[in-house]
Chains A and B, each alone.
Chain A
Amino acid sequence: MKPQHRWFSLSWMSLVYGFLYLPILILVVFSFNSGRSSVWQGFSLQGYEALTRDSKMLNGLWVSLEIALSSASLSVLVGTFIAFVLVRYTRFTGRTLFSGMSNTPLVMPEVVLGLSLLLIIKSIGLNGGYLAIILGHTMLGAAYAAVVIQSRMVEVPKAYEEAALDLGAKPLETFFLVTLPLIAQSLVSAWLLVFTISFDDVVISQFLSAPGIKPLPTVIFENARYGAKPVVNATGALIVFVVSALLISGSIWIQRREKRIQREISAAFREVA
């Protein structure tokens, strides 16, 4: 590339990255602000102190963690089933409906999903609550999990499974001893993805929550509507800290693991040679 093009592309990319990260940076900085407003007035931890006393936020945090843990695990279970069927059974009666339904949550606006789930719950005479939110998030999360798992499952060579069967393994054994370890990493990614989606969801939770059961995002959302608040700043910044720490340590772990696998493979080759 010519120098002037290079200059242009570098500045465009920096601007976009700046656009993506500036708001997050501002939030983190202002979570240490001593004033209430968005004018910098000096360092303070008042937002964090307020958070330790804010029972709604803390309660919401626990509710959200419980819901996200359950719905992520359930979603991986259901998503694996969906992905397996979509990858391994290319023809069966009703496959179009099956794949259509499995994709719908990815593209349907959340207000529609939330309302339709709430109405079916009300129609059979029940009310929203913990279980409803978990099922709602699983409905959404399983669709995402299926996409992630599916993209890995199509890469698993069938020869491995064929070998296991030739050696006398039963289909179920083959799945748990051969296929599952091969797709394990995608199950972890899917779990993390659904956890994030569930932990962040406002709309479905808003529709399906019951009085007293308020996940963290709905509490933040209700607070945030009425302008900036130190306690919301602090909560947001904490989420940023935790997520970044997890992402960084996760990527380091994956890199190390890949390096170790590389070393083992080359060691194995040396042995053979």
Chain B
Amino acid sequence: MVKSNKSPTTPHNSWGKWAVIGTPYVWLIIMLLVPFLNLFGVSISEMLSGGGYMPIYRDGGWFFKDNYSPILTDILSGGTYRSAYLSSIYYATLTAIGCLFIGYPFAYFMARARKDLQPTLLMFVMLPFWISMLIRVYAIKILFDDSGFLVTSLSGALTSLGIINEPLHLLGTSFSMMFGMIYVYLPFMILPLYSTLSKMDPRYWEAAADLGATPIKTFFLVTVPLSKSGIIAGLMLVFIPCIGEYVIPQLLGGADTLMIGRVLADQYFQVQDWPAASALAIGIILMVILPMMVLNKYQEATGEVK
């Protein structure tokens, strides 16, 4: 068969070609490029109290230093922004690692389960995704309620063991928030892991066993290194959305779990300082650029299962 790079359906006269390419291109520019450039523009504009800003092209004011230096000073001196950025990184990292520890063995067992069972097993991992994430996060709120059966029975057990002497309080702590984030993002970890693990040639395991490796050794010296791309893709897929997570910290977190997404929203809606909110958003973009580049490199591990 002759393989041609150019498909015959694609119009090749330049008018048709550019109409086909141009339509989505214009959409992407209007919906993404322009808003992002504007975001940057607002972040270096003068703030007007009560919401709004003075556009730089109208007034000529260049407020780059005025808007970014408070954030930088805050970050250097240890204020709210710094703790919000740091706790975002901290909780996103913890969530990614937690998902890896729970998800890796799971994906491994799933990849080694009977072949005809695997689609069903995978489907039941994906199923919760179709049920509203908001509803599932809300469900955890019921689960962790102070008077709920989980907390009361745990409290009872721990008190009788003498570990604690006052009733447990889980809701609105970093624990319940981490639980919620791992709960929501676990499938994002399992999918790329399963995708790489299920494609692994079983002969590698047989070879390792033939050469005298114990199953544990085979797992850590053969399986884990070979699934590196899945691990990295999974970590990034969990880490990136967690950085800007807004809903879960609001519903399950407490006063000690202030994350940058919340600070940004407050700057816009409560303080009504648009330029500051934009500058914080630019900060978030800078934080996710590196993980995004890493993810792009290992994307081939993720694209397969969907």
Tell me whether A12 and B38 are in contact (CB under 8 A). no
User: Of B7, B38, B52, B306, which is in contact with the most chain A CB atoms at under 10 Å from its CB?
Assistant: B7
Count of CB-CB pairs between chains A and B under 8 Å:
243
Measured between C-beta atoms, what is the minimum distance from B114 to chain A in Å?
11
User: How far is B8's CA from A9's CA once the two chains are assembled, in angstroms?
Assistant: 50
Tell me whether A202 and B306 are in contact (CB under 8 A). no
Tell me whether A174 and B110 are in contact (CB under 8 A). no
Q: Which residue of B lies closest to A1 (CB)?
A: B112
Measured between C-beta atoms, what is the minimum distance from B291 to chain A in Å?
8
Q: Is A232 an interface residue (CB 8 A)?
A: yes
Q: Is A82 an interface residue (CB 8 A)?
A: yes
Chain B, interface size category, equals: 35 or more
Binds A, one of B20-28, B69-77, B154-162: B20-28
Binds A, one of B79-87, B138-146, B194-202, B222-230: B138-146
Q: List A contacts of B129 (CB < 8 A).
A: 196
Tell me whether A39 and B140 are in contact (CB under 8 A). no
Against A, the Cβ 8 Å flags (1 = close, 0 = not) of B248-274 are: 001100000000010011001000001
Tell me whether B246 and A24 are in contact (CB under 8 A). no
Q: Is B34 an interface residue (CB 8 A)?
A: yes
If A23-B136, A147-B306, A202-B246 touch, whether A135 touches B25 (CB-CB below 8 Å) is no
Against B, the Cβ 8 Å flags (1 = close, 0 = not) of A179-221 are: 1000000000000000010011011001100000000010011
- B positions within 8 Å CB-CB of A: 1, 4-5, 7-11, 16-17, 20-21, 23-25, 27-29, 31-36, 38-39, 42, 52, 55, 102-103, 105-106, 109-110, 112, 121, 123-125, 127-136, 138-143, 145, 147-149, 183, 186-187, 215, 240-241, 243-247, 250-251, 261, 264-265, 268, 274, 277-278, 281, 284-285, 288, 292, 295-296, 303, 306
Q: Is A268 an interface residue (CB 8 A)?
A: no
Measured between C-beta atoms, what is the minimum distance from A187 to chain B in Å?
14
If A13-B109, A20-B125, A101-B29 touch, whether A109 touches B147 (CB-CB below 8 Å) is no
What are the nearest 4 A-B pairs in CB distance? A109-B244, A23-B139, A27-B139, A38-B145
Chain A, interface size category, equals: 35 or more
User: How far is B100's CA from A268's CA once the two chains are assembled, in angstroms?
Assistant: 48
User: How far is B285's CA from A115's CA once the two chains are assembled, in angstroms?
Assistant: 12
Q: Is A126 an interface residue (CB 8 A)?
A: no
Q: List B contacts of A165 (CB < 8 A).
A: 8-9
If A17-B124, A30-B142, A104-B32 touch, whether A84 touches B25 (CB-CB below 8 Å) is no
Chain A residues 100 to 156 lying within 8 A of chain B, measured CB to CB, are 101-105, 107-112, 115-120, 122-123, 135, 138-139, 142, 147-148, 151
Tell me whether A109 and B132 are in contact (CB under 8 A). no
